[in-house]
Amino acid sequence: MAFKITYTYNKQAKEIGYANDKFNSIYDAVAAAEGINLASFHAMEAQLAQVCRRDKKSVKDYRENYFKELGFSNIVIERDGQES
């Protein structure tokens, strides 16, 4: 099944291909496409996950806010021509 990701980076719409075996998440894929190193992000995300074990929303909110600060928005994965 073919996947593609559409997103906006610094107010410019972009589209890339996506494979689950190459990246852990769509956020990793868009960061790699823009050449952004996420080492410090992953370290902080792991710490937050340890502290907020039952609160998945905090980790998700952290991820979304971090990527907004980097200039990303409207990150959407499309499967077979349909958005999800």
* pLDDT tens track for 43-74: 999 999 999 888 889 999 999 999 999 999 99
* pLDDT tens track for 18-46: 888 888 889 999 999 999 999 999 999 99
41 three-state secondary structure: helix
2 three-state secondary structure: coil
Show me where the domains of the chain are located: 3-79
- 60-65, Cβ contacts within 8 angstroms, sequence gap of 24 or more: 63/27
pLDDT-derived band at 80 (thresholds 50, 70, 90) equals low
